[in-house]
Amino acid sequence: MNFDPSTLTVHPYAPHHRPELHFAPEKNWINDPNGLIFLNGQYHLFFQHNPFGTDWGHMSWGHAVSRDLLHWEELPVALPEDDEAMIFSGCCVLDFQNTSGLGTLEHPPLIALYTAHHDQTGLQTQNLAYSLDEGQNWAKYGVVLDEGIRDFRDPKVFWHENTQRWIMAVVLAEHRQVVLYASLDLKSWEKQSTFGPAGHTGGIWEVPELLELQDDAGQSHWVVKVDLNPGGPQGGSGCQYFVGQFDGQTFTPTQKARWLDYGKDFYAAITFANLEGRTVWLAWMNNWQYARTHTTGQYSGNMSLPRELYLLNTSEGLVLAQTPIRELDSLWEPIEVPSETQLRAVQHKDLLALKKAVLDLHVQMNSTDQSVYGLVLHCAGQLEWALEFDHLNHTLTLTRQGTVDEEGFQGQHTAPMVSMGVQDVRLILDHSSLEVFVDGGKLVFTEMFFPQEGESRLSMYARSGNVNVHVLHARTPPLV
Ligand code: FRU
C-alpha cells in the first residue's frame, strides 16, 4: 500500500458504471470482503471501508445484506475504527455452541475475528467483537491473539468437526507464511503450524483461507487460498491456491500452486460461513496496482459476483473451478440472438447489441485445430476488451483497452489453455465488469472496464481456421 497521492486520478462519477448485481457502496472506498456469513435466510457481507472518503484510510467494517446474493442493501458501518486501531480484514462465525460464553445456547453469538491495526506502533493483533442481534450492533471484546509483531493479519476461522476446535488461518505477510492456530472458545488461541513460503512469493501474502472441499469423485481435500501483492499472474496483486491435506494441525500440499483467476481484478476472496451444502465466495474486484489511483468520484470499488466452488479431477490434477451462483439463472430475460453463427478466417461478425453493458452469455465454440478467434466488446464505438482463443499457441488472452490509462490497466493478460477443441464460455457483464468462466469455470478472468455511455456491441472474429458458435443462452435484465 505504498502510495503517492499526487498520482490520484479522480474520474467524474459516471452512474452508468454502477453495477446492478455486484455489490458497490453508496459512496466512498471499499476493499476486501470481510465476515461473509449466512444467517436465518440472509447473507451478510462486511467489507473493508473508509466511511469518510474515496481513498483507502480510516479502515472500518461496512455492512450489507442480501437474500439472493445479487441484490444488496447497505446498512450502517458495523465496526468503526477507534482511537487505537483501524479494523482490518477478518471473518465471522456463528458460535453455535456458545463456546465463547458471549451469548447463550438458545441465542448463539455472532463472532467477528479481525485484525486490529494499531496506528501508533504499526503492530497487528487479532481481535474479537460480538453481536447478539445478527450483526446490527457490535461490542468490541478486545485482543485475543497478540504476538507483538507487525504484518500479522486477516484471520479466517472455521469449526473443525474432527478435533472439535476452532481453527484460524492468518498470515505473516512479509514472511509469505500462513499460520494455523486452534481454540476451544475463540478467545484463547494456540499456534499449530505454519505453511510457506511456497508457490508464488513475488509479493507479500494476504487474506488466507483453509477450507475443505469434496472433489467430483466424492473425495475430501483441503485447500489453502492465499493472495499476494504484487507478484500476481498479470502484474500487481493476484490470488493462488494449493490443494492438500489437513490433519487438524498441519496443512500439507499435494500439488503445486495454481492461479485462481487470470484476470487482474480478483483479490481477497473469502467464503461464506454457515452455509450448508455449497461453498460460495466473492472477492474485491480490483488490483492494488491501480486501486488507489483510479476512483470513480463518488465511490471506489465493487465486489465480484458470488461464485460457487468445485474441486474437479482433470488431466492437470485437481482444479478449483468457479461458476456464477445459480441464483443468476432465473433472474434475467432471454434476448433474441441467432443460435448458430459460422465464421471463417478472416471474418468479423456482430453477435448482439445492447443499450447498456449488462449481459449473461453462454456460448460453445467449436473450431478447427489451427483456429485463432475471439470475442470483442465495443461501447460507444470504443474497443473495450477482446478475448482471444489461440489454438496454435494454446493460450487465451484478454486484451483490455478502453480509455483508462493508469499504469497496468490496459494490456494483454494471457493464460495457458489446457482444453482445446470445443470452448465452453460463460461471460457476464455488469456495466463496468467482465467475468469470464471457461470450461465450466476451470479458467476464469475477472476484469473491470469503464466504458463511455452508449450502445455496447459484442462481435466475433476469426483470424485463422473456422469457428461455429452455438449460443446456449443470452440474457439481460428487462428493459435493456
Ligand atoms: C488486503 C489487505 C489486508 C488488510 C486490508 C487492509 O487487500 O491489505 O491484508 O487486512 O487489506 O485494508
Q: What's the pLDDT score for residue 403?
A: 87
- Say if ligand 1 is within 6 A of residue 187 CB: no
* pLDDT band with cut points at 50, 70 and 90 for residue 287: very high
Find the 194 Cα to ligand 1 centroid distance in Å.
20
- Say if ligand 1 is within 6 A of residue 206 CB: yes
Name the residue of 89, 152, 171, 172 whose CB sits within 8 Å of the most ligand 1 atoms, as the mutation to test its pocket.
89
Q: What are the tens digits of pLDDT across the range 171-196?
A: 999 999 999 999 999 999 999 999 99
Asked if the model's pLDDT at residue 19 lies above 90, the reply is yes
Q: What are the tens digits of pLDDT across the range 397-423?
A: 999 999 888 899 999 999 998 767 789
Q: What's the pLDDT score for residue 393?
A: 93
Ligand 1 closest atom vs CA 206: 9
Closest of 131, 128, 122 to residue 152, by C-alpha? 122
Name the residue of 2, 29, 34, 48 whose CB sits within 8 Å of the most ligand 1 atoms, as the mutation to test its pocket.
48
Asked if the model's pLDDT at residue 437 lies above 90, the reply is yes
- Say if ligand 1 is within 6 A of residue 48 CB: yes
State the cell numbers at 312. Answer: 474437479
Report angle CA 461, 465, 466 to the nearest 5 degrees: 70
Find the 66 Cα to ligand 1 centroid distance in Å.
24
- Say if ligand 1 is within 6 A of residue 115 CB: yes
Q: Give the rounded percent of residues in the chain with a pLDDT score beyond 90.
A: 91
> Which stretch of DSSP H or E encloses residue 343?
strand 340-344
- Say if ligand 1 is within 6 A of residue 81 CB: no
Phi, psi of 306 (to 5 degrees): -65, 140
Instruction: Give one DSSP letter per residue of 192-252, joined into a string.
Output: EEEE-S-S--SSEEEEEEEEEEEBTTS-EEEEEEEEEES--TTSS-EEEEEEEEE-SS-EE
Task: Report how far residue 67's alpha carbon sits from residue 80's, in angstroms, rounded to the nearest whole number.
Answer: 25
Q: What is the mean pLDDT of the chain?
A: 95
Asked if the model's pLDDT at residue 10 lies above 90, the reply is no
Q: What are the tens digits of pLDDT across the range 201-234?
A: 999 999 999 999 999 999 999 999 999 999 999 9
* pLDDT band with cut points at 50, 70 and 90 for residue 7: low
Task: Report how far residue 473's alpha carbon sits from residue 478's, in angstroms, rounded to the nearest whole number.
Answer: 15
* pLDDT band with cut points at 50, 70 and 90 for residue 165: very high
- Say if ligand 1 is within 6 A of residue 471 CB: no
- Say if ligand 1 is within 6 A of residue 423 CB: no
Task: Report how far residue 220's alpha carbon sits from residue 192's, in angstroms, rounded to the nearest whole number.
Answer: 21
Instruction: Give one DSSP letter per residue of 19-39, joined into a string.
Output: -SSS---SSEEEEEEEEEEEE
Q: What's the pLDDT score for residue 370?
A: 85
Q: What are the tens digits of pLDDT across the range 84-139?
A: 999 999 999 999 999 999 999 999 999 999 999 999 999 999 999 999 999 999 99
Name the residue of 2, 91, 207, 265 whose CB sits within 8 Å of the most ligand 1 atoms, as the mutation to test its pocket.
207
Which residue minimizes the CA distance to atom 7 of ligand 1?
32
- Say if ligand 1 is within 6 A of residue 114 CB: no
Q: What's the pLDDT score for residue 1?
A: 45
Bridge partners for 474 per DSSP: 361
Ligand 1 closest atom vs CA 227: 1
Residue of 32, 265, 430, 439 marked catalytic: 32
Q: Give the rounded percent of residues in the chain with a pLDDT score beyond 70.
A: 96
Q: What's the pLDDT score for residue 8?
A: 57
Taking residues 47-59, report their average pLDDT: 97
Task: Report how far residue 179's alpha carbon sits from residue 156's, in angstroms, rounded to the nearest whole number.
Answer: 11
Question: Is 68 among the catalytic positions?
Answer: no
Ligand 1 closest atom vs CA 237: 7
Asked if the model's pLDDT at residue 143 lies above 50, the reply is yes
Q: What are the tens digits of pLDDT across the range 340-390?
A: 999 999 999 999 999 989 999 999 999 987 899 999 999 999 999 999 999
- Say if ligand 1 is within 6 A of residue 29 CB: no
Ligand 1 closest atom vs CA 173: 9
Asked if the model's pLDDT at residue 2 lies above 50, the reply is no
